[in-house]
Amino acid sequence: DHRIIQGAESGSFLRTIDGSLRGEDTFYADVFGALQATPAPEVPAPPSAMAGIGTAAAGYDDLKAVAAGMALVKAYRNFGHKAARLDPLGGEPLGDPALDPAPLGLNSDNMARIPAELMRIYVPGATLAEALPHLAATYCGTIAYEVEHIASHEERVWLRHVIESGEHAPPLDAEAQRNLLARLTRVEGLERFLHKAYLGQKRFSAEGLDTMVPMLDRIIADAADAGAGEVVIGMAHRGRLNVLSHIIGVSREAILAEFEAGRASDPMAPKGGLDDVKYHLGAEGEVTTADERTVRVALVPNPSHLEAVNPVVEGRTRAAQTDRSTPVAAVDHATVVPVLLHGDAAFAAQGVVAETFNLSRLAGYATGGTIHLITNNQVGFTTSPAEGRSTDYSSDLAKGFDAPIIHVNADDPEACLAAARLAMMYRHRFGNDVVIDLVGYRRYGHNEGDEPGYSQPQMYAAIADHHTVRELYRDELVAGGVVGADEAAADVKAVA
């Protein structure tokens, strides 16, 4: 870990370093012992050189390699996300030169002599050479992390340990994988039915971000395990029908009635089908988790589009967390968990997001950590990210509020569950906000009445040829022998 040393403290620090370099303690013996290298007898140095440094060339090279190895580990932790495979549509990551060991003077030989223990890393491998592929897979796969901006040393160390050890990403057994596939099938099936039955009607489908539903399943289950009795959700329109149906439990009949109302000839009939969106009103239900825990789940009304619901969710959550039965009201943040689903363009652009974040650690407003899930379809209405914000990621705003950021490819459902699990682990441990940047796409443009090929022709050419996450995951499970060919055929029929 690194921090700025200044003021009176800097003199003491420099004196300690100078003494170590002069050989006043066991610094060299410790380093060469760890490297299993033997320093040559000291050679008198010129007056201008630092005393005590005279070592054999090989030992000095090993010392440089250790320093280079530490720089490489730091680069992966800080910039590994820039080389991660986050775009389901196959866009090439930018990468970062700092992730290349060669300019640092590192090669397979000297990395094989560096004990992984010296690097303070938690991935498998006894040496840096053995650990490096695991480090790259951890930070540059379909899930990536930005946590090094966090001011708290304790939080940074905890996050590094959990991320690099894989504690948040235990392998799913065959039954869990089949259940996940079934969940994705139901999510896609609802959207496909609505698209066929009500072609051209606006519904702002979840397709391309289907994994938001199993991620909410994971968040709710983990909230229940941590003692919560309620989860309060706020979101705009993208994917809301699926959340109402599969998370809250709103009946299919009620959802279809919103579409059919637009066809009614009676002027007094509900006109939901003629509205811009059909699901501004909220809904509440109960979810029973796999281990038979019951959690009340509320989707808060959002009559205004996008992020206006954020402070409403936080206020409702704080009120529900407050026990006023005693003379001095007590607040228990564990009892209710707030979850906010954001659009990527809206998260970066709307000031209410920053205003709500600014309340997150104030004693009178804190809710013990909000799970922010950015449903990132990589375009805002018809605006590309490069033309809509001045930051690399839509999530960059959150860095200013010390929130960890987890980026994940929406086409890797198991990685998505790991992201959700890490977010809940962090909230439970530290009680602060955390952001998941779920990178996907939108299959039918801003809404189902648009033709997105006019404004994003290359993106939508790629989407037209791109398999859904259900199809990709089904094929993966078939290849792994988890799902048989007959089950796969039934899966196709279910959403046909």
Q: Which residues are catalytic?
A: 2
Supply φ then ψ for residue 288, to 5 degrees: -105, 120
Q: Mapping DSSP to helix (H, G, I), strand (E, B) and coil, where does residue 281 land?
A: coil
For residue 31 the two structure tokens come to 């380093």
Contact 381, 123 (CB under 8 A): no
Please name the residues in contact with 199: beta carbons below 8 A apart, sequence gap of 6 or more.
448
Q: Mapping DSSP to helix (H, G, I), strand (E, B) and coil, where does residue 308 land?
A: helix
CA distances from residue 496 to 43, 192, 469, 490 in whole angstroms, order as listed:
79, 8, 15, 10
Q: Tokens 């402070």 belong to which residue?
A: 311
Give the sign of the dihedral formed by CA 419, CA 423, CA 426, CA 428. Answer: negative
Q: 340-369 b/e with 16+ CB inside 10 Å = b?
A: bbbbbbbbbbbeebeebbebbeeeeebbbb
Q: What CA–CA distance (Å, rounded) separates 84 from 125?
A: 21
Q: Cα 380 to the chain's mean position, in Å?
A: 20
Contact 185, 417 (CB under 8 A): no
**CA R_g for the chain:** 26
CA distances from residue 415 to 392, 418, 423, 429 in whole angstroms, order as listed:
22, 5, 12, 21
Please name the residues in contact with 287: beta carbons below 8 A apart, sequence gap of 6 or more.
220, 231, 247, 249, 294, 295, 296, 297
Supply φ then ψ for residue 223, to 5 degrees: -65, -45
Q: Is 427 exposed, middle or buried (0-12, 13-18, 19+ CB in 10 A)?
A: buried
Give the CA count within 13 Å in the CB-facing half-sphere of 377: 30
Q: What CA–CA distance (Å, rounded) separates 95 from 88?
A: 17
Q: Count CB neighbours of 473 within 10 A.
A: 24
- Please report, for the chain, how many H helices and E strands are present, in that order: 19, 10
